Structure 1
Amino acid sequence: MKSKFVFVLLVLGTYFSAFAQQKQARGFEAKADVVEKGLIKVSVLYPYAEGKTFDMDYYEKNHMPYVAGLLGSNLVRYTIEKGISSGIPNSPLPFMAIGSFYVKSVTDYQAAIAPHREAIRADFPKYTNISPIILISEVVK
């Protein structure tokens, strides 16, 4: 009888532990995907073109953390995207990569970047030969 009771406790403990882990994982995923309305999004788009190159490893480990560090407490988060396909079958890839910074204030973003603009541009040849397109937008939803 005692061994059956211990077995039931072990099964229930395993079940509730797994349930708690799943609930925690779902909660984390939901929070990680939320981007607050009103934030400013600075998108740095690297268009695809024949003969252009992009070193994602350097961009991820060096360039983006460097720029993110300049933004201080204004930075909420940043993301890095690697282009894999066009939305239209058999069409060229529109962008090789997109880096995005979510910040609280466009004015503070510009003030933080301005003194370092030349250093940021000087870093480009270390990972790409593409001239990026920059779009600053406001998160609506």
Structure 2
Amino acid sequence: MASGLFGMAFIPYYNHLMELLDTNEELKKSAKGMFSQMCWSAGGALVGGAVGGPPGAMIGGIAGSVIGYCRVDPYQSMVETLRKLNDEDKAKLVKKIQELVGSTGIEALTRFIASQAQREILVNFLRKAAEDFKGG
């Protein structure tokens, strides 16, 4: 299997990615903003609307916002999911990120996240990948 994983050459890149996710405040801000825009109140509004029509949607949206605020940090949940990947999935993730970044170099990944738009693209990609790896 090591030959299929290129002798574990993906590990330094993966480790750098995880370090960036742990320490880069701009990535965290991008993720939190995206997650909050996507999740807060949407689920509550949907359920509330299904149960109580338009007034239920409004109440559900408010309740969903409060619950979402109190829930686990989705960014940390995503990072933890990515940390728990097996080596084969880590290699797949690294390959896809390298394709997204357009380079296999670690420095290119660091440069890639310098732009707000690219940070959002990366975080959105990682969120989707974490969901896929979880089977969700």
Q: Which structure has the greater CA radius of gyration?
A: 1
Structure in which a larger fraction of residues adopt helix: 2
Structure in which a larger fraction of residues adopt strand: 1
Normalising to structure 2: TM-score of the pair? 0.24
Normalising to structure 1: TM-score of the pair? 0.24
Higher relative contact order (CA 8 A, sep 6+): 1
